[in-house]
């Protein structure tokens, strides 16, 4: 069976569902997988490296990227702009690397318009009770922040039908295998 050409895969889902954990496992198992690097207008933090952690841009440079269609998606958060540069994604795909973009729901919706050939996967929890347990288990947030995340998650879960595939993260290993199959990575180290 002939392998398809590498594609951009978008992974989205509510906070606390396990996206970061699964992305780390995917990258460990499949070093050829390129994780998209975001551009930001915020200043680099100690230890952050250009083109590895972020592409650091001035406000004017970021605005230029937006104006010329140079971003697959973008948003503002806490006074700074963040987005996914199109050019590095296209370069990696042209070089034969599968590309993964881990983003929020609104970003996934933007990518659906700016890069419609991307394959979009929605990661969801087995239940809201389990999602709440995971968020609380982190022990990193106050009650008001937890409630805000849960309310947002309820809204985000309504969007699962917008995606090409849905993976329920009930067991991390099962979810990893499902992602590998959907991304056509299984057995290709």
Q: What is the DSSP letter of 116?
A: T
Q: Tell whether the model's pLDDT for residue 175 goes beyond 90.
A: yes
pLDDT given at position 23: 96
- Write out pLDDT tens, residues 136-150: 988 888 999 899 989
Pair 11, 118: CB distance under 8 Å: no
Structure tokens at 109: 């919706």
Q: Name the percent of the chain lying above pLDDT 70.
A: 96
Q: Tell whether the model's pLDDT for residue 117 goes beyond 90.
A: yes
pLDDT bucket at 4, cuts 50 / 70 / 90: low
> Which domains are present in the chain?
8-182 (3.40.50.300)
Other Cβ atoms closer than 10 A to 50: 10
pLDDT given at position 78: 82
Task: Find the helix or strand (DSSP H, E) in which 74 lies.
Answer: strand 71-77
Pair 121, 179: CB distance under 8 Å: yes
Average pLDDT over residues 177-181: 96
This prediction's pTM: 0.89
How far apart are the C-alpha atoms of 44 and 40, rounded to whole Å? 9
pLDDT bucket at 185, cuts 50 / 70 / 90: confident
């Amino acid at each position: 069976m002939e392998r398809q050409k590498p594609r951009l895969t978008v992974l989205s889902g509510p906070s606390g569902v396990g996206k970061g954990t699964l992305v780390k496992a995917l990258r460990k198992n499949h070093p050829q997988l390129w994780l998209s690097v975001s551009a930001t207008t915020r200043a680099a933090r100690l230890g952050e490296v250009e083109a590895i952690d972020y592409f650091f841009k001035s406000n004017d440079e970021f605005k230029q990227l937006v104006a010329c269609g140079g971003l697959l998606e973008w948003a503002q958060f806490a006074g700074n702009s963040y987005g996914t540069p199109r050019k590095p994604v296209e370069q990696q795909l042209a070089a034969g690397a599968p590309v993964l973009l881990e983003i929020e729901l609104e970003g996934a919706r933007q990518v659906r318009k700016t890069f419609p050939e991307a394959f979009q996967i929605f990661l969801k929890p087995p239940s809201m009770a389990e999602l709440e347990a995971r968020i609380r288990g982190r022990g990193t947030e106050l009650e008001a922040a937890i409630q805000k995340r849960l309310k947002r998650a309820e809204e985000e879960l309504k969007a699962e039908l917008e995606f090409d595939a849905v993976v329920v993260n009930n067991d991390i290993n099962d979810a990893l295998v499902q992602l590998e199959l959907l991304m056509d990575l299984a057995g290709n180290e």
